[in-house]
Amino acid sequence: MSRVAIKSDLDPIQAVLRILPHTCYTIGMEIHARYFASFREIIGQNEEVLTLHEGANVADVRALLLTRYPRLQPIMERSVCAVNHNYVPIDTVLHEGDELVFIPPVGGGCH
């Protein structure tokens, strides 16, 4: 194998970057979040699409929502979550296209 030396005024990194195609990668995923009752009242919508980093879990979404809507704190502490129609713990990792539902505590019943 013969090697050809190419003289360039560019440093090696700049030379490689000139050769490589310019491609933009999105490092993230979208999930569908749905809100009911007091969640819907505070957030102001029934559902939304959230863009999260790969490997995000339910706890990450909870933290995001609490940052955006601090009034959710007392409700969030007592709520449960479901991903794709199954109750899950907060350390559940989310995946592209998942449906995440926050279910607030319900009141009522017999005395």
Please write the tens of the pLDDT for every residue from 31-81: 999 999 999 999 999 999 999 999 999 999 999 999 999 999 999 999 999
SS3 (DSSP) at 103: strand
Give me the percent of the chain exceeding a pLDDT of 70. Answer: 71
Instruction: Identify the burial level of 94 via C-beta atoms within 10 angstroms of its C-beta, where 0-12 means exposed, 13-18 middle and 19 or more buried.
Output: buried
Average pLDDT, the chain: 82
Give the strand pairing for 80-83 and 86-88. antiparallel
User: 27 and 53 in contact (C-beta within 8 Å)?
Assistant: yes
Query: pLDDT class for 28, splitting at 50, 70, 90?
Result: confident
CATH architecture, domain 29-103? Roll (3.10)
Q: What's the pTM value of the predicted model, to 2 decimals?
A: 0.71
Alpha helices in the chain (DSSP H): 12-19, 37-43, 58-68, 73-78
